[in-house]
Amino acid sequence: MKKIALVTGSSRGIGAATAILLAEKGFDICINYKNNSLAANEILRRTKKFGIKCIAVKADVSNETQVINLFETIDQQLGPVTALVNNAGILLPQSKLVNLNAKRINTLLTGNVTSYFLCCQQAVKRMSTEFLGVGGAIVNVSSIAARTGSPGEYIDYAASKGAVDTLTKGLSVEVASEGIRVNGVRPGFIKTEMHADGGEPGRIDRIKNNVPMQRGGETFEVASAVAWLLSDAASYVTGTFINVAGGR
């Protein structure tokens, strides 16, 4: 079966590492990005070195119309997706709950939760045997914050990832008989640019001693877990989460 993967938010960080690793493993790839075309084109260049087909498509995956257009573009240029990695997300500046407002909460939930629902929906319509698909696999990138709650810093982000975990579990059961596996990966403190979005670029150095392994994680370590869950080696695995968090 031809392997075609969409990795959302793959112009940087975990998404970029995942796109490159999947290309190395023979997947045709759609790199999705929201704004940074230069970064997306660099990942496009790096993935093409593996001799696979690869496209970069701009889309805000929290917008339903843009998600539909994204999947239709993949249909036309690569073929229907057989693998979806829901990775796109946002992190807003650190804050306690008492300082949050509805606009911020809704922005974060739309970016981190609605986007996953919309992309899962379009993927299921292409993968499911109920829709004459040939099956496939979905991996939702969550966060160890879904378990810890991230008090005092990112409680809204943590809540959004808790919703992702619930989506993952529920959808895994809903489509298990339709040839689709749905799993999640929960990264811990990973060295990515996202920490700057939260207002503390050096956050890993501050908190790494709280991790049993005494270090932050690398993006390729998360990408490796994602790739395994998408592989035939995980053919009997669904509704499961891998914590890539150094023991947290």
Helix (H, G, I), strand (E, B) or coil at 140: strand
C-alpha angle 17-19-21 in degrees, rounded to nearest 5 = 70
Distance between CA atoms of 84 and 19, rounded to whole angstroms? 11
Which residue among the candidates 33, 116, 154, 157 is catalytic per the annotation? 157
47's tokens: 């993935």
Distance between CA atoms of 148 and 87, rounded to whole angstroms? 20
The reply to whether 157 belongs to the active site is: yes
The DSSP secondary structure of 20-38, one letter per residue, reads HHHHHTT-EEEEEESS-HH
Distance between CA atoms of 143 and 121, rounded to whole angstroms? 21
Q: Annotated active-site positions, please?
A: 157
